[in-house]
Amino acid sequence: MKKRSARATMYLTVALLFLVAVRYTPELPDTPAADVLQQGTKHSISEFVDSVVAPPPRVETLNRGETLIGLFKRVGIGDQAASEIVRAASASAIDARYLKAGMPVEFTTADSTLENPKELTFHLGVDRLLHMRRTASGWSGVEERLPWTIDTVVVGGTIHANLYQAMDSSAARYFPAHGKDELAWALADIFEYRVDMSRELQDGDEFKTIVERMVGPGGVTRVGKVLAASFSLSGSNISAVRFEGRNASPQYYDATGRSMRAAFLRAPLEFRRISSTFGTRYHPILGRWKAHRGTDYAAAPGTPVRAIGDAVVVRAGWSGGYGNLLELRHRNGYVTRYGHLRGFAKGIRPGVRVNIAQTVAYVGTTGLSTGPHLHFEVLVGGVQRDSRMALKSIAGEPIARGERAIFEQRSAQLLASLNSSASGVLRLAAR
């Protein structure tokens, strides 16, 4: 009785370790998922679990700072077998220098010791296994790619507090918690030259998106490509369509065929860096600072601040109520100011050139500030302006003339799907 329950515990442990393994390394395949799918696979997950449950192999994980040889010695593999396996594994798929701590390795052995195992399986990633087998001529390895499936879903919702919360209620049926955040970030990235997602969303605004959903081994679900998305902001509509030109990497364009990228980002903080507890619910208490004419972004101290456009640093130092202040001069008479900074990024000093989206400083609470936040100003021709208005008119480049016809066809198709589909799994026509 005791023995049986011990075995059951062991099997359960192995199964749990397998689940942990499957969840462990969250990296997407380098090759497009479709390619991975085509490669096929010899074992389905259920077969794999069955084989785990038959005579269970022993599962060990690589410790932090441990080498493969170190792991083998720890589990009792003989010196000669250990070095043979490492050599063969390196020749197959493993770069022994870049193995991740926590990587599970399964050992199958014919007898009760691990001195001379007959089979090893490395869980290289959530969808990558390396099977090593001992043959008459030595060790050899076969890499196995576990398949992902892709479908397309429509997710739409109404914003009440912020994008995270809107996503929480509308994407929960399709994505796990982290996936919902990923989707919010993906949308914020696509629109980051047009909409400041942390400041400009109002109660009652709406969003809708067509997005690929990737379901991997063990049911891991991830956000794939966002194919199209639209926001209705106080009644005005802005949409973005993903389009891959003949010689260009995929980009997003608005409905008129202009790139969603422009000369300026709409916000100096990346949306994904602002937790949902900051941002829209924040009310600045800076009334006593009379010169206050800017936008405040509440964010944790140390949050990276990015240049909203290509620029030259004009000032990087202490400036009264601003505390640590960074001032950037852009083309066409635009100047941006970033105040209350904890400090500046390495190498940031007057005269230095910076690129759009480059980290230039860190959020702090220096000067006349009641709590960690970024004070942000846009000046045009030396005059402080509302950044929402000042940056609004700057649109991206139109799509190349030679690509316009095919873009319009693709865009019309996607936008029609976007507008006509209710939230749910979408059946797209041939792509």
Q: Which residues bind Zn ion (CB under 5 A)?
A: 294, 296, 375
Write down the least CB distance from residue 360 to Zn ion, Å.
Answer: 18
Write down the least CB distance from residue 68 to Zn ion, Å.
Answer: 53
**Closer CB to Zn ion, residue 48 or residue 376?**
376
Write down the least CB distance from residue 123 to Zn ion, Å.
Answer: 49
**Closer CB to Zn ion, residue 279 or residue 294?**
294
Q: How many CB atoms lie within 10 A of CB 392?
A: 12
Q: Are 202 and 233 in contact (CB under 8 A)?
A: yes
**Closer CB to Zn ion, residue 125 or residue 294?**
294
**Closer CB to Zn ion, residue 239 or residue 387?**
387
Write down the least CB distance from residue 306 to Zn ion, Å.
Answer: 18
**Closer CB to Zn ion, residue 241 or residue 378?**
378
* Angle, CA of 324, 327 and 329, to the nearest 5°: 170
**Closer CB to Zn ion, residue 134 or residue 375?**
375
Residues 6+ apart with CB under 8 A from 218: 19, 22, 23, 45, 126
Write down the least CB distance from residue 377 to Zn ion, Å.
Answer: 8
- Gap between the Cα atoms of 15 and 123, Å rounded: 14
Residue nearest to Zn ion (CB): 375
**Closer CB to Zn ion, residue 41 or residue 384?**
384
Write down the least CB distance from residue 344 to Zn ion, Å.
Answer: 18
Q: Are 321 and 377 in contact (CB under 8 A)?
A: no
Residues 6+ apart with CB under 8 A from 305: 268, 269, 326, 338, 341, 359, 360, 361, 362, 363, 374
The DSSP code for 391 is T
106: its two tokens: 């399964």
**φ, ψ for residue 425 (rounded to 5)?**
-75, 130
Maximum Cα–Cα distance across the chain: 85
**φ, ψ for residue 344 (rounded to 5)?**
-110, 155
Write down the least CB distance from residue 392 to Zn ion, Å.
Answer: 20
Instruction: Compute, in degrees rounded to 10, the torsion defined by CA atoms 171, 173, 176, 181.
Output: 0
Cα dist from 350 to 116, 211, 312, 327, whole Å:
64, 43, 8, 9
**Closer CB to Zn ion, residue 15 or residue 380?**
380
Helix-, strand-, coil-residue percentages of the chain, each rounded to 5:
30, 30, 40
